[in-house]
Amino acid sequence: MPELPEVETVRRGLAPVFEGGTIARVEARRKDLRFPFPPRFAARLAGRRVLALRRRAKYLIAELDNGEALVMHMGMSGSFRVDKDDEPGNPGVPRGKKAAHDHVVVHFEGGARATYNDPRRFGFMLLFGDGELATHPLFRGLGVEPLGEGLTVRSLAEALRGRTAPIKAALLDQRVVAGLGNIYVCEALHRARVSPFRTAGSLVAKSGAPSRDLTRLAAAIEAVLREAIDAGGSSIGDHRLTDGSLGYFQHSFRVYGREGAACSTPSCKGTIARAAQSGRSTFYCPLCQK
DNA sequence: CTGTGTTCCTGTTCGC
DNA sequence: TGCGAACAGGAACACA
């Protein structure tokens, strides 16, 4: 489920509990998710204080007071639920009650709990040693963060130059831009009026200079992510939506899941179509995306 | 190195 | 209503 905006929304929802909190104990209710839990996973977390909860691409990173880092990925179907014992009206699952697919529960001193639920178990949790974030294969090749200073038209041009894969596939590649997924790639390409079938390299001039289309695309990526985060931000505090669901922004999709609908581009008479690209669904307007 | 297809797993939705 | 098929937001991996 979660792409960058959802992961960021989850981070903001979890931060009040994680940051500054001390982990009392961890329940890992099975031996693995996508990958096996690290050796002595629960024991190594117990007693640790969380200094900060960060996000990189679609990863959540809890920095611990011993220099290690708890790295979490929610895969396709992962979600977190936060429960605080000192809130009598808390709509979350009552203490001790186990919902299906609740695989990990992090108990904090003071009684707050963060419960990780993941039916498909494509998510995972790892413990990195001091400094491992910079060198671990999962992080080593990650591209720039699309928000903040990382993503520039120039950096995009450099990453895409000469590539013959469709721009849709290139943007899904986490080495190009970190954190984009199928939904937001579709949305960004539509906003930029760029066809998902164009080769990535066609957006870059032979000289390496970015095209006008690429300039629009970079702006569209940033805009759609920011809007989605803002929409998610408005849902923080609602326990049902602190879980990484798409929140209110799904009502703002212009192409994703809208096959057959009228294109929303002003004065465009197109109809949103759906195609398969590298095994995933692409939603686009055949008329205004060139 | 680059690009593409397969695979992990379970739940939900769709067409008959 | 039931039931099999298609599909799902990720990304590691194998392979051409």
DSSP codes of every residue in A108-136: ETTS-EEEEE-SS---EEEEEPTTHHHH-
Please state the rounded mean pLDDT for residues A261-269.
Answer: 96
Mean pLDDT of all residues in A171-185: 95
Residues A157 and A130 in one domain: no
Examine residue A270 and state whether it is found in any structural domain, yes or no. Answer: no
The CATH number assigned to the domain holding A88 equals 3.20.190.10
Is pLDDT of A242 > 60? Answer: no
How are strands ordered across the β-sheet holding A113-117?
A23-28, A102-108, A113-117, A79-83
> Is there contact between A260 and strand B, defined as CB under 7 Å from any strand atom?
no
Is A78 within 7 A of strand B by CB distance? no
Protein residue minimizing CA–C1' distance to B3: A165
Count of helix runs (H) and strand runs (E) in chain A: 8, 10
Nucleotide nearest to A168 (CA to C1'): B3
Task: Output the pLDDT for position A80.
Answer: 92
A71 and A163 belong to one structural domain: no
Same domain, A40 and A122: yes
Residues A48 and A80 in one domain: yes
Residue A188 identity (one-letter amino acid): A
Alpha-carbon gap, residue A166 to A199, rounded angstroms:
4
Q: A137: burial class by Cβ within 10 Å (0-12, 13-18, 19+)?
A: exposed
To the nearest 5 percent, what fractions of chain A are helix, strand and coil?
30, 25, 50
Whole-angstrom distance, CA of residue A73 vs CA of residue A139? 12
Q: Which domain holds residue A43?
A: 4-135
Distance separating alpha carbons of residues A36 and A290, to the nearest angstrom: 45
A111 lies in the same domain as A190: no
Per-residue pLDDT at A196: 96
Same domain, A166 and A113: no
Strand order in the sheet with A124-128: A50-56, A59-64, A69-73, A124-128
User: How large is the average pLDDT for residues A137-150?
Assistant: 91
Among the listed residues A12, A58, A81, A113, the single catalytic one is: A58
A45 and A159 belong to one structural domain: no
Q: Which residues touch strand C (CB under 7 A)?
A: A 1-3, 6, 34, 57-58, 73, 75-76, 120, 122, 137-138, 172, 174, 181-183, 245-246, 250, 279-281
Q: What percent of chain A has pLDDT over 90?
A: 80
Question: From the alpha carbon of A34, which nucleotide's C1' atom is closest?
Answer: B8
Per the annotation, the verdict on A2 as an active-site residue is: yes
Q: Which is catalytic among the residues A44, A121, A198, A280?
A: A280
Place A207 in a pLDDT band, splitting at 50, 70 and 90: very high
Are A105 and A163 found together in one domain?
no
Read off the CATH number of the domain in which A194 is found. 1.10.8.50
In the predicted model, is pLDDT for residue A195 greater than 80? yes
Q: How confident is the model at residue A237 (pLDDT cuts 50, 70, 90)?
A: low
Prediction pTM value = 0.94
Contact of A168 with A185, CB cutoff 8 Å: yes
Within this chain, do residues A111 and A197 fall inside the same structural domain, yes or no? no
